[in-house]
Structures are given as C-alpha cells and as structure tokens.
Amino acid sequence: MQEVFSIDMRDYITQGVKMTDNIDLMAIITEWEYLFHKKHTPYFATHLFANYKFMSLLDYILLAEDNLYQCGMDIIDGDFDVETNSKMDEHSKFRTIYGLGSEIKDNYGEPIYLVKDESLSDGIVILKHISENDNEDEIAPVPKGIKEKTLV
C-alpha cells in the first residue's frame, strides 16, 4: 500500500521551512505519516521514496553543516536494501542516514526508511508500508493520472 504526496520544492528555503507560512518540512512529513496511517489503519508507513533533490533538502534540515552524511538508500538494479547500501558506505566518503523515526503516537520511533528514487519528479514523495514478509522485486511506479495529495 502506498500514498503519493507532493510539495513545490521552490517554496522551501534550504533550512526546510516553507517561505510563505514557515511550516517546517519535518512537520509536513509527520502530517503525511498521519494521513497514511489514518487511511491504512492499522498499518504505518515504513518507507519514504523521493528523489535526490528532496533527500538533499532533508540532508540540510537534519545535518545542517555536516557534509559527511546523506539521507536515503540508493536503488540498485530496481531494488534496495540496508545491507547492500551499508557495504557501499564502507567505500564512500559519506555515511547514509537510512531512516527517520516515526512521529505517530502508536508507532513512535519506529523506522521509516528513506529511499532515493530518481524516477520521481521533484517534490513527489511516496509513503509505503512494506512488511518484512513482502517480496517486492521492484519499486512500484507512481500510477498514471493519480491526483497527488498536496499539503498547503
């Protein structure tokens, strides 16, 4: 199960705050997480998919001036996993932030894994629930003609 959300990346300054109303991007992600759970109760989002530009904005919000870390696992051959990305970290000058802690009361602190998906347009974010029992061989594309949810 998945939900597609979007923001206009041009509305955000590098600190991750929306210029027009000072809404913090992390607060928006928490709102998306809540909306996902509300629609798919009892399930919670376990993965957040977005492109490099969105992840770079998260890098700055979470890590500010520290340029030794970057948010999001890479998709390799249509798949992703922590183990493969961890092995890549061993040979990189960067270290990967693999996930965020959930902010939903009944799921607080559980990981929401961050996955870089360059097939997504700027500002498109997909929240998914992928259980450990799911055998997803590839990342499902954004359905054509979907009406994206935008938080304003």
Q: Which of 110, 63, 62, 71 is nearest to 89 (CA)?
A: 71
CA distance 78 to 126: 16
Residue spans of alpha helices (H) in 41-108:
52-63, 82-89
Q: Provide CB contacts within 8 A for 31, sequence distance 6+.
A: 151
**Domain hosting residue 91, numbered range:** 2-150
For the chain, how many structural domains are there in total? Answer: 1
For residue range 47-85, list pLDDT tens digits in order.
999 999 999 888 877 775 666 778 888 887 777 777 777
Per-residue pLDDT of the chain (152 residues; tens, 9 = 90+): 999 999 988 887 666 667 677 778 888 999 999 999 999 999 999 999 999 999 988 887 777 566 677 888 888 777 777 777 777 777 777 778 889 999 999 999 999 999 999 999 999 999 999 987 754 433 444 444 444 443 32
pTM: 0.80
